[in-house]
Structure 1
Amino acid sequence: MELRQLQYFVAVAEERNFTRAAEQVHVAQPGVSAQIRRLERELGQELFDRSGRAVQLTEVGEAVLPYARAALAAVAGARQAVDELTGLLRGRVAIGMVTSHNVDLPGLLAGFNQDHPAVEITLREGDSADLLDGLHSGSLDLAIVSVGPDAPEGLALQVIDDQPLVAAVSHGHELARHTVLPLTALRDVPLISLPNGTGLRTRLMEGCATAGFAPRIAFEASDPVMLAQLAARGLGAAILPGGYAAACADRLHSITIDPPALRGRLVLAWRAGRPGSPAGRALLTRARAALRGAGARTELPPN
Structure 2
Amino acid sequence: MDLRQMEVVVAVAEEGGFTAAAQRLHVVQSAVSSTVRALERELGTPLFDRTTHRVSLTAAGEAFVPAARLALRAAEQARAAVDLARGQLRGRLTVGTMQGVWADLHKPLAALRAEHPGVVVRLRQAAVTDIRQALREGTVDLAVVALDRQQQRGLVTRLLSHEEMVLVSAPRRTLAASGPGGTVTLAETARLPLVDFAPGWAIRLSVDRAFRAAAVERETTFEVNDIVAAAELVRNDLGVCVMPASIAARFPDLGTHAFDRHAPHWKVMLVRPAGEPPPLVAALLRHMN
TM-score bin (small chain): 0.7 to 0.9
Letter matched to residue 91 of structure 2: G
Q: Is the 8 A contact 1:13 1:57 kept in 2?
A: no
Cα distance in 1 between the residues matched to 2:210 and 2:157: 22
- Answering whether residue 264 of structure 2 is matched by residue 262 of structure 1, we say yes
- Quote the residue 2:112 is aligned against: 112
Deviation per residue, 1:155-192 (Å, 9 max, x gap): 33333332211223446545333323432333332222
Q: CA deviation at 1:111?
A: 4.0
Q: CA deviation at 1:97?
A: 1.9
Q: Any unmatched runs of 5+ in structure 1?
A: 293-303
- Quote the residue 2:146 is aligned against: 146
Q: Is the 8 A contact 2:186 2:216 kept in 1?
A: no
- Answering whether residue 158 of structure 2 is matched by residue 158 of structure 1, we say yes
Deviation per residue, 1:99-146 (Å, 9 max, x gap): 223517455434433433443321112232322222232211122223
Match of residue 199, structure 1, among 199, 202, 205: 202
- Quote the residue 1:32 is aligned against: 32
Residues 219, 36 of structure 1: alpha-carbon distance in 2 compared, 3 angstrom cutoff: closer
Q: Is the 8 A contact 2:165 2:266 kept in 1?
A: yes
Residues 213, 110 of structure 1: alpha-carbon distance in 2 compared, 3 angstrom cutoff: same
The count of aligned residue pairs is 283
Q: Is the 8 A contact 1:228 1:252 kept in 2?
A: no
Q: CA deviation at 1:95?
A: 0.7
Letter matched to residue 201 of structure 2: T
Give the TM-score of the pair, scaled to structure 2: 0.73
Cα distance in 2 between the residues matched to 1:192 and 1:232: 11
Deviation per residue, 1:56-90 (Å, 9 max, x gap): 7798x999999988986776665455345444423
Cα distance in 1 between the residues matched to 2:252 and 2:16: 54
Cα distance in 1 between the residues matched to 2:8 and 2:250: 52
Residues 242, 104 of structure 1: alpha-carbon distance in 2 compared, 3 angstrom cutoff: closer
- Answering whether residue 186 of structure 2 is matched by residue 180 of structure 1, we say no
1:71-82 aligned within 5 A: 79=79, 82=82
Residues 236, 278 of structure 1: alpha-carbon distance in 2 compared, 3 angstrom cutoff: same
TM-align CA RMSD? 4.2
Letter matched to residue 283 of structure 1: L
Give the TM-score of the pair, scaled to structure 1: 0.70
Cα distance in 2 between the residues matched to 1:101 and 1:65: 31
Q: CA deviation at 1:10?
A: 6.5
Residues 3, 166 of structure 1: alpha-carbon distance in 2 compared, 3 angstrom cutoff: closer
